[in-house]
């Protein structure tokens, strides 16, 4: 394997950890993700991960149900730590040294987020999983991924989702929807495309961090993206339809 990137940030949605379950964590899915991440690490790539918590609790849904928005977001942050610890365990079973760093102090189970320490872990070949979002309500884990990628000097963000890229319309509702091979940050923002939230895209634009959106449903896609194969959609280039 000849990797294209030296240091990457992988954004995993909490929903991806559910597999076909309606709620929670599917251990087989977590093991599969850990196996692919292990291949990336053994190729000499430094990898940091931001994981969501939507498989356990989503702050926006809690707020929509009448809960105080800040409280709901804090509960969502705690859910991301549960996912981070689960993924850490799966990676360490494969003998990959892993550290969980949280933006909210949880000293009995994880390190606090310290930028220089995170970068040192990466340099030593450890996987770093960032939990608890940014530590602030009203910000998504997408924004956290963009923020942490900028802080640790990641070359690219891999956004692994349940769809195989970014479309000009919802492919579940419109069978004629077309997938972008690449698109600009500005196009993604002005057309409100479902890549990341606008704050995250703007942060990537300001720091010139490309975003590669691809499907996790096909085994091996993380490695393919790492090798620079043309999969999914690249945000940060010119606009091109597949």
Position 44 in a domain: yes
Position 136 in a domain: yes
Position 46 in a domain: yes
Q: Residue 13 annotated as binding?
A: yes
Give residue 196's pLDDT: 87
Give per-residue pLDDT as tens, 201-214: 999 999 999 999 99
Q: Residue 139 annotated as binding?
A: yes
pTM score: 0.92
Position 1 in a domain: no
Q: Residue 167 annotated as binding?
A: yes
Position 94 in a domain: yes
Give per-residue pLDDT as tens, 138-158: 999 999 999 999 999 999 999
Position 208 in a domain: yes
Position 2 in a domain: no
Nearest by Cα to 159 from 9, 42, 7, 45: 9
Q: Residue 165 annotated as binding?
A: no
Position 237 in a domain: yes
> Where is 16: in which H helix or E strand?
none
Q: Residue 59 annotated as binding?
A: no
Q: Residue 236 annotated as binding?
A: no
161/171 Cα distance (integer angstroms): 14
* CA 18 vs CA 28, 96, 194: distances in Å: 10, 23, 21
CATH number at residue 57: 3.40.1160.10
Q: Residue 170 annotated as binding?
A: yes
Domain that holds residue 136: 7-241
Q: Residue 141 annotated as binding?
A: yes
């Amino acid at each position: 394997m000849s990797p294209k990137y030296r240091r990457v940030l992988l954004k995993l949605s909490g929903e991806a950890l559910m597999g076909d379950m309606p709620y929670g964590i599917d251990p087989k899915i977590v093991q599969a993700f850990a196996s692919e991440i292990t291949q990336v690490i053994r190729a000499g790539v430094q990898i940091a991960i931001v994981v969501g918590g939507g498989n356990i609790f989503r702050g926006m849904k809690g707020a929509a149900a009448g809960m105080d928005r800040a409280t709901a977001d804090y509960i969502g942050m705690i859910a991301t730590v549960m996912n981070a610890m689960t993924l850490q365990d799966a990676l360490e079973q494969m003998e990959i040294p892993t550290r969980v760093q949280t933006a909210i102090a949880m000293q009995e189970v994880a390190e606090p987020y310290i930028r220089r320490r995170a970068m040192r872990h990466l340099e030593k070949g450890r996987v770093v999983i960032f939990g608890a979002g940014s530590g602030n309500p009203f910000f998504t884990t997408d924004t956290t991924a963009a923020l942490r990628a900028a802080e640790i000097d990641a070359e690219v963000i891999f956004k692994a989702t349940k769809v195989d890229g970014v479309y000009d319309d919802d492919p579940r509702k419109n069978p004629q929807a077309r997938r972008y091979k690449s698109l600009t940050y500005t196009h993604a923002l002005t057309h409100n495309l479902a890549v990341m939230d606008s704050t995250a895209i703007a942060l990537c634009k300001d720091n010139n961090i490309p975003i590669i959106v691809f499907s996790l449903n096909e085994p091996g896609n993380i490695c393919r993206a790492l090798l620079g194969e043309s999969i999914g959609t690249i945000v940060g280039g010119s606009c091109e339809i597949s």
